[in-house]
Structure 1
């Protein structure tokens, strides 16, 4: 099996402006945050982001990297709305395609199966169709003649996901309570980059139940070992969401001056500097100088 391991910087160099980027995880849970932070350090812009979003979407919007967001929600879980996405949504600085969660998953499944759409009952008789006038309905070709929403495939140039463990070939394993559709992201994109807490020999993947082997190597183009790479979102059982730091993030979004200080403390350097600054925050409760 080929070795697909790469650095965060090597990953970031493959992303181009104008791409459609899918980001796995769910809200503020198991997001590939080290990969998102790497994108913040690049010159890429004009991205279309596909996500059941959290701070991944918020950070990219705050940095002016996003043209459009296709989403089911953008939440920090314990904080209902990501403040940066809310500001972008209210000001109209990003285009949006807002779907019912069931519709969103149908779009992922359609893309994963290389179909142009999938029929779904989700969204029928709702304002989702009013808000997205480009959506169409289809009638069943069978005797029942039932009407469905024709949910378009959410195809992506690149998918970014974070798992607990992977081998060098790209077989990925989650050890927490939920897969968060990361397998669909990997199949729905032309390329997939998998960050993980630890790269392990393939035989170690057999230590957990078979169903935890979520992502197959055939769908993965790069594997990036990033310990605590989902911070400040959770990556159970390795670590829970950093609620104190998440509150710091949300509070910093209240005005431009506060956000500039947050960026300087946590987002101006590389991933090692970020992790060091976070460790300092955890021990002192204040930002690094």
Structure 2
């Protein structure tokens, strides 16, 4: 598992990931977030790697022995230098080629053109373009003309050319946020996080909320919010 960080935002470290990492039940590569972005970008551009200074001089290089560096073919001339500059050693971030990606958007049309209205796009467009197959779940499916009127071009980051399939899934990002449609369900998130304490707690949570269909899950969530 490769990540920039694994967090629930208001809960800094995802507790199930923390337990799996500490118990050694998963293989994890913990990159810098900038490295993760470049790995996805490299895959989206179909190039084997992209160079960066991110990660150099940090424990990322020490802990991830499979990472490599490359020497820039172009000299970097810093202000005040008169010697022609130097050929920097840069970290070569390998392309993160994904088998599949699933992202959730505020709205989409039936072809996969998608609109995200929140302030942070969360690299969703890069995940979609880095994957062999990409799927969009959305709060609502709209006619293309109506979709185009929801926001400016900055909100239309995902194109139908990169999307394999679309499904309408209202409230599909719960318990996380899908602004401005809804914010994070902090109470439910705390309930989920508490299940990392024991296998019994997780089994109970899974039986109540996950081993049922989507309609049943959403109905239970509404009951808790009353």
TM over 0.5: yes
Whether the 8 Å CA contact 1:205–1:213 is kept in 2: the answer is: no
Match of 2:8 among 60, 76, 98: 76
Is the counterpart of residue 138 in structure 1 residue 70 in structure 2? yes
Partner of 1:159: 101
Partner of 1:194: 136
Describe the superposition over 1:125-161 as per-residue Cα deviations: whole angstroms up to 9, x where unpaired.
Answer: 1110111101000001123301100000010111111
Is the counterpart of residue 96 in structure 1 residue 96 in structure 2? no
Q: CA deviation at 1:230?
A: 0.2
Is the counterpart of residue 148 in structure 1 residue 90 in structure 2? yes
- CA RMSD between the two structures: 0.8
- Please, which runs of 5 or more residues in structure 1 have no aligned partner? 1-68, 284-289
- Show the 5 A alignment for 1:1-289: 69-143=1-75, 144-207=86-149, 208-283=151-226
Q: Residue 179 of structure 1 aligns to a residue in which SS? A: coil
Give the TM-score normalised by the residue count of structure 1.
0.73
* Structure label with greater radius of gyration: 2
Q: Which has the higher contact order (CA 8 A, sep 6+)?
A: 1
- Please, which runs of 5 or more residues in structure 2 have no aligned partner? 76-85
Q: Residue 206 of structure 2 aligns to a residue in which SS? A: helix
Q: CA deviation at 1:206?
A: 2.2
Structure 1: 4+ residue segments shifted above 6 A: none
Whether the 8 Å CA contact 2:128–2:134 is kept in 1: the answer is: yes
Partner of 1:6: none
Decide which structure has greater strand share. 1
Q: Residue 148 of structure 1 aligns to a residue in which SS? A: strand
Whether the 8 Å CA contact 2:195–2:205 is kept in 1: the answer is: yes
